Amino acid sequence: MPKQKLLMIGNGMAGVRTIEEILEREPGKYAITIIGDEPYPNYNRIMLSNILQNKMTPSEIILNDEAWYTDNQIELHTSEQALLIDRHTKTVTTTKRNISYDKLILATGSRAFILPIPGADLDGVLGFRTINDTEKMIDISQKYERATVIGGGLLGLEAARGLLDQGMDVTVIHLAEWLMETQLDAKAGELLKADLEAQGMKFLMQKATSKILGKSRVTGLAFKDGTQIETDLVVMAIGIKPEIELAQQANLPTGRGILVDDSMTTADPDIFAVGECAEHNGIAYGLVAPLYEQGKVLADRLCDIATKGYHGSKMFTQLKVSGCDLFSAGDIKENAEIKGVTIFNSIENKYKKIFMRDGKLVGVVLYGDTTEGNRLYNLLKKEEELTDFTLVSLLHKSGEVESTSVAEMSDDASVCGCNGVTKGAITKAITEKGLTTIGEVTAHTKAGGSCGKCKPIIGDILEHTLGDDFVSAAPAGICGCTDFTRDQLIIQIRSKQLQTAKEVRHVLAFRNPEGCSKCRPALNYYLNMVWPQTHADEPESRYVNERLHANIQNDGTYSVIPRMYAGQTDPQQLIQIAKVAEKYDIPLLKLTGGQRIGLYGVKKEDLPKVWEELDMRSGFAYGKTLRTVKSCVGSEFCRFGTQDALALGEALERQFEFVDTPHKFKMGVSGCPRSCVESGIKDYGIICIENGYQIYIGGNGGTEVKEAQLLTTVATEQEVIDICSAFVQYYRETGVYMERTAPWLERMGMEHVREIILDPAEQAQLKASLEEALVGRDDPWKQVLQDEEKQKLYRVERV
């Protein structure tokens, strides 16, 4: 039986996503032909602003290259325009041919709305919708100085930021009282304007353009209030106009867009519309998430799969401008039925407002801190009652902040709003297909493939699903957000005096201005290492376990592992641990491989109280830092012991417990050559002998065991500690983030490392650098008790 002929007019994101969905459902059903009027295969229009902002190239935003069309037996006609639809003969006439169809999809998209004012046709007046538009803007920026963007909405501000990055003097003209007035309230709009002005952007608010000045080329703008400005480029970014002319010529009903029902079918049962050109229940959507939702419904319809149909979308907005973090979703206008709750932190310039109706969340505006955007968006979509939620909370303790880990997210929670991908879909793909990187997750699920803002959450899901395998699978070093190597980044941070991760990503033009789950913690570590006294640690850039000071378990509870120096404890600690475990109904107490007692199954809401009542420091079982110093009892108790291993182990743990390292760092002190604590597979291992101490480095346990190598033999405990200081600091200064000492040692070379570590001058300098990094590091984290006998350091860490 011959395949039905499926013809699609339009080669954009919504249309091609529909074709992808069809191919997933029933790849052999249709002979597919696609007509596109641009000379490119399908590309990510959302990322045009990244090209303008020098973060990506046109080739990097291609979603489906020409090979994809060939592999899927799709006939693609680029640089070709459809002119006429003949519904009676089921034929489409283009600028080059006639093409027949059995089913026709109209995915014609939209074009930039150009103000119908005098001068709108002058050279130098552009819309911002295509790669061609973007390349023209870049070309003009090389020849002229002044640019004006008409429209202070999402697209206009992204265009303005890009023109600033191209070196132009940029003014934004906006008719409304504040920026992005359909997505932001007045306060958030005010904060956004202030941040953009600080970046060099200029604004003329509540201005109506009456005329574009110039003869053959634009020279300026005139406004209805009689004022004028000079300019060399005008970018119209005041909205879009659905492309509906073909449908109108074919006598298909249209409004603002092509009218469709819940199955995306037009008045003709064999013609369908999807994307920006379609109008459903009076709405023509312009954001990608609803368009992809439409594509899934249409794919079901064309594959004869039962579907609930398309019933509209709850939309959200995020701005792709460095230094301006905002999130908006739902209804954000207060009225008799909708009321708002506002929190504004003017110290950190963070603004949050939620909008409620009948006890349910209907709208969200976040500015300055968008970490809760995904959680709130899921609450909004599910229309949950908020009776169990505290609407406002001030000055709660660190660690009691409301944040949702990926372990606590339900499987139906949305992770990628643009592509409609849930946590459950991502987890299933990871486990069934053996995925280990964000790029692989994107390739198989589409999550993170549009605006890219959900990539940090995808990284958290990978970490939670794979555990330590995620660490071993993640390539050592930086990520796809930048082409800079680790060493180049350090040089740039030092030479340009970059102080924050956000500043690094902006100045060094990272492709993803928010970073991803690989580069965010890496940059935080590098900045801590380069500027130990001035860089404020960025908790939001740490992995979720480090943020909560507890390891997430597979059921969504947590493990709490207090520090026990060199594996030592006392009756008071044991009693306290027992009391806490009993009080909070902790289901499992277990001796860990690091000679400590772990409390497993702690509820998230109990974490702050558990730490407070334990009155013990964390053992950093989750950290990229010193984890443990395993020790035997040594000569004080063991008849085979040659040195006091227990005292040396405690001294090492106290000396280095506050230092950040590229990866987890473990030590072992064995009191005799029998090496009961496996010192030979530790990052820094000591084996006590009759006349001193053998020092081993670069051993790693785990899935790939690496035997440590003998560095030297010394006579005193102080030499052990001094060499350890030099070794740790050299690893800190030269290691790539997420690189264990074993691969680091292999990369650097054992002889080179030995030469550096054992050289007296180098050793002294490295030791001094480490001491500088540790100055004051423990002050916020501990409290020295008055009991002189115990000399124990206690207190809960700051989350």
Mean pLDDT score of the chain: 86
- pLDDT band at residue 172 under the 50/70/90 scheme: very high
What pLDDT is stored for residue 789 in this prediction?
33
Per-range mean pLDDT, top range of 541-550, 704-713, 768-777 = 704-713
Rounded distance between C-alpha atoms, residue 677 and residue 593, angstroms: 10
Which region among 7-11, 210-214, 250-254, 422-426 has the lowest average model confidence (pLDDT)?
422-426
Specify whether 227 is located in the same domain as 183. yes
Specify whether 233 is located in the same domain as 261. no
Say whether 575 sits in a helix, a strand or coil: helix
Q: How many domains does the chain have?
A: 5
Per-range mean pLDDT, top range of 55-64, 346-355, 646-655 = 646-655
Tens digit of each residue's pLDDT (9 = 90 or more) over 290-299: 899 999 999 9
Arithmetic mean of pLDDT, 481-492: 84
Q: Which domain holds residue 18?
A: 4-110+242-302
> The tokens of 710 are what?
């003998």
Which residue did the predictor score with more confidence, 397 or 310?
310
- Please report, as a single letter, which amino acid is at residue 590: K
- CB within 8 A of 382, min separation 6: which ones? none
Buried b (16+ CB within 10 A) or exposed e, 349-385: ebbbbbbbeeeebbbbbbbbbbebbbbbbbbbbeeee
Helix (H) or strand (E) holding 723: helix 717-734
What pLDDT is stored for residue 520 in this prediction?
86
What pLDDT is stored for residue 475 in this prediction?
46
- Within a domain: 144: yes
Arithmetic mean of pLDDT, 5-28: 95
Arithmetic mean of pLDDT, 555-572: 88
- Within a domain: 643: yes
Q: 277 a known binding residue?
A: no
Q: 632 a known binding residue?
A: yes
Residue 241 has pLDDT above 50, yes or no: yes
Specify whether 647 is located in the same domain as 754. yes
CATH number at residue 636: 3.30.413.10
Arithmetic mean of pLDDT, 529-549: 80
- Within a domain: 120: no
Neighbour order of strands in the sheet with 75-77 = 75-77, 30-35, 4-9, 103-106, 271-273
What pLDDT is stored for residue 510 in this prediction?
83
- Within a domain: 699: yes
Q: How far is CA 772 from the centre of its chain?
A: 32
Specify whether 534 is located in the same domain as 551. no
Neighbour order of strands in the sheet with 588-591 = 551-552, 558-560, 597-602, 588-591
Residue 681 has pLDDT above 60, yes or no: yes
Specify whether 650 is located in the same domain as 771. yes
Say whether 236 sits in a helix, a strand or coil: strand
CATH number at residue 158: 3.50.50.60
- Within a domain: 348: no
What pLDDT is stored for residue 786 in this prediction?
33
Tens digit of each residue's pLDDT (9 = 90 or more) over 313-338: 877 887 766 667 788 888 888 888 88
Residue 450 has pLDDT above 80, yes or no: no
Q: 638 a known binding residue?
A: yes
- CB within 8 A of 755, min separation 6: which ones? none
What pLDDT is stored for residue 137 in this prediction?
94
- Within a domain: 370: no
Assess contact for 406 and 459: CB atoms under 8 A: no
Count of alpha carbons within 13 Å of 556, Cβ hemisphere only? 9
- CB within 8 A of 738, min separation 6: which ones? 471, 474, 476, 477, 518, 522, 624, 662, 663
Specify whether 174 is located in the same domain as 286. no
What pLDDT is stored for residue 693 in this prediction?
94
What pLDDT is stored for residue 40 in this prediction?
92
Specify whether 96 is located in the same domain as 195. no
Specify whether 632 is located in the same domain as 749. yes
Specify whether 172 is located in the same domain as 257. no
Tens digit of each residue's pLDDT (9 = 90 or more) over 32-73: 999 999 999 999 988 888 888 877 888 888 999 999 999 999
- Within a domain: 118: no
Domain termination residue (choose one: 213, 238, 263): 238
Specify whether 775 is located in the same domain as 712. yes
Arithmetic mean of pLDDT, 622-635: 90
Arithmetic mean of pLDDT, 83-91: 96
- Within a domain: 488: yes
Long-range residue pairs from 372-379, CB within 8 A, at least 24 positions apart, any chain = 372/402, 372/403, 373/316, 373/318, 373/327, 373/329, 374/413, 374/414, 374/415, 374/417, 374/454, 374/457, 375/403, 375/404, 376/329, 377/314, 377/316, 377/327, 377/329, 377/414, 377/417, 378/409, 378/413, 378/414
Distance between first and last Cα of the chain:
64
Helix runs in 591-713, H state only: 607-614, 645-656
Say whether 729 sits in a helix, a strand or coil: helix
If one counts every other C-beta atom within 10 angstroms of the C-beta of residue 605, the result is 9
- CB within 8 A of 286, min separation 6: which ones? 110, 240, 276
Residue 785 has pLDDT above 50, yes or no: no
Specify whether 779 is located in the same domain as 659. yes
Arithmetic mean of pLDDT, 412-418: 79
What pLDDT is stored for residue 260 in this prediction?
96
Q: How far is CA 534 from the centre of its chain?
A: 25
Say whether 563 sits in a helix, a strand or coil: coil
